[in-house]
Amino acid sequence: MNTVPLSLQPVATGDRIAVLDILRGFALLGILLMNMEAFSGPLDLSFTGIDPHWQGLDYAADAVIYVLVQGKFFTLFSLLFGAGFAIMAQRADAARRAFAPFYLRRSAALLLIGLCHALLVWSGDILVVYALISLPLLACREAPTRWLPVMGVLTYLCAAALMLLLGALTGLEAQLQPDGAQVQAAIDSAQQTIDLQRQAYAHGTYGQAVLQRLRDLVTQVGAIIVVGPEVLGMFLIGSWFARSGALATPERFTRLYGRLRWGALPLGLAVMLGSAIWQPYLAPGTFTPASGAAFALASVASLLMCLGYLGWIMRLRAGLHWLAPMGRMALTQYILQSLVCTWVFYGYGLGAFEQMSRAWQVPFALALFAVQVLLSHLWLRLFRFGPLEWVWRAMTYLQWPPLRRAERA
């Protein structure tokens, strides 16, 4: 790759907003805790609520993860992606350079990395969705700052509206076909997919696992109709946090963060608990008006709790600087989590698929995260970027940025 003008150089360490890296590091912990269920068992049996097949401590662990973690941290990570977009756009404007070509290269590179992750490592990837949704985000670049929170919340709530609509449609379909044949067909299809995942990931070769990941990826991309509005909504909200200065100068927004801590988080927790008590589990292949409403409430609760967590991290950020190196290597560490966990659980690795109890998944995730934090500190003593961050920057800036700290730009 050839060199390019200095104005297109990657952001220097000293120019970073430190709290963004702290937030990314914290979000990676939540993402790992959430994804453990999908690493250790069939993907389509995950993210369905509190699984009734667990008992005792395992059931309690599943309930805690569902209420406090699931859906709250990928939204936080999405918010941070939107904040990063806004910061890059501001810096492009300050440097008087074209932003769209640079950003499109960045999105294309992320899409390529995401596809490699989804097909070669783990089909629960979120990077492909981020790369695709980053395109409508670019179209919102010129939106007035004051309108971004409104646009973000309304876009996010489209996902909840779609869940309500889907629940109503399935309820109407059940009334039109009282024999239940359509419902049973959906259940049978879902079970067939679960059986295929179990066979490929627990007992199959690496090649068979890749073929199953391809099938899963098609389904995941299809689900973008619901996940997409949530992601784009958080992108827009994150853009406001960056543009307004709420992340760079949080001392000017003490009232906002106080409301998030003591208003949004308790309210979100109450809504989440109500949803979990009303409809604790969604069996694969089933969907009713009640479950649609309950999961719509859970989506709203996730938004509120995500913002509440953000408020608390901003309050406690002085004691959380140890998370910053993890956040600076977020892409590398996200994919490392997949590499380690698929090696532990999949049949072409150690073969622990569906062998680890739900309760033991929590300390396993915490131990893995602790090792990742340590590795991040050690790596960044010698290098400027994580390995995948370095590759991503090279593809984005059309040059190889200096990697070792001893190298000069």
Count up the domains in the chain and report the number. Answer: 1
Contact, 386 vs 333, CB < 8 A?
Answer: yes
Quick one: average pLDDT of 85-106?
A: 91
Quote the pLDDT of residue 6: 37
Inside any domain, residue 157: yes
Quote the pLDDT of residue 179: 62
Quote the pLDDT of residue 186: 79
- Residue 304 contacts by C-beta under 8 Å, 6 or more apart in sequence? 264, 265, 267, 268, 271
Quick one: average pLDDT of 204-218?
A: 96
Quick one: average pLDDT of 247-271?
A: 97
151-205 confidence digits (pLDDT tens) = 999 999 999 999 999 888 887 776 777 666 677 787 888 899 999 999 999 999 9
Inside any domain, residue 199: yes
Inside any domain, residue 325: no
- Residue 30 contacts by C-beta under 8 Å, 6 or more apart in sequence? 69, 72, 73, 76
333-378 confidence digits (pLDDT tens) = 999 999 999 999 999 999 999 999 999 999 999 999 999 999 999 9
User: What is the dihedral sign for C-alpha 321, 248, 315, 78?
Assistant: negative
CA dist 146 and 243 (Å) reads 9
SS3 382: helix
Contact, 238 vs 20, CB < 8 A?
Answer: no
Quote the pLDDT of residue 330: 97
Residue scoring higher pLDDT (257 or 222): 257
Q: How many CB atoms lie within 10 A of CB 111?
A: 18
CA dist 316 and 23 (Å) reads 11
Quote the pLDDT of residue 7: 42
Inside any domain, residue 280: yes
Domain residue limits at 143: 6-14+41-312
Residue scoring higher pLDDT (75 or 169): 75
Inside any domain, residue 387: no
Quickly state the pLDDT bin for 254 (edges 50, 70, 90).
Answer: very high
Inside any domain, residue 135: yes
45: nearest Cα among 358, 365, 407: 358
- Residue 90 contacts by C-beta under 8 Å, 6 or more apart in sequence? 242, 243
Inside any domain, residue 115: yes
Quote the pLDDT of residue 20: 95
Quote the pLDDT of residue 171: 78
Quote the pLDDT of residue 185: 80
CA dist 192 and 34 (Å) reads 24
- The full DSSP string for 245-294 is TTTT-GGGGHHHHHHIIIIIHHHHHHHHHHHHHH--B--TT---HHHHHH
267-314 confidence digits (pLDDT tens) = 999 999 999 999 999 888 888 889 899 999 999 999 999 999 999 999
- The full DSSP string for 300-330 is HHHHHHHHHHHHHHHHHGGG-GGGHHHHHTH
User: What is the dihedral sign for C-alpha 68, 70, 74, 75?
Assistant: negative
For residues 30-51, one letter each, b for 16 or more C-beta atoms within 10 angstroms of the residue's C-beta and e for the rest, the string is bbbbbbbbbbbbbbbbbebbbb
Amino acid at 394: A
SS3 56: helix
CA dist 99 and 113 (Å) reads 21
Quote the pLDDT of residue 3: 36
Answer whether residue 235 shows pLDDT above 70.
Answer: yes
- The full DSSP string for 238-249 is HHHHHHTTTTT-
Quickly state the pLDDT bin for 12 (edges 50, 70, 90).
Answer: very low
Answer whether residue 409 shows pLDDT above 50.
Answer: no
CA dist 128 and 146 (Å) reads 29
Answer whether residue 14 shows pLDDT above 50.
Answer: no
Mean pLDDT of the chain: 92
Inside any domain, residue 288: yes
- Residue 162 contacts by C-beta under 8 Å, 6 or more apart in sequence? 225, 226, 229
Contact, 39 vs 345, CB < 8 A?
Answer: yes
Q: How many CB atoms lie within 10 A of CB 294?
A: 23
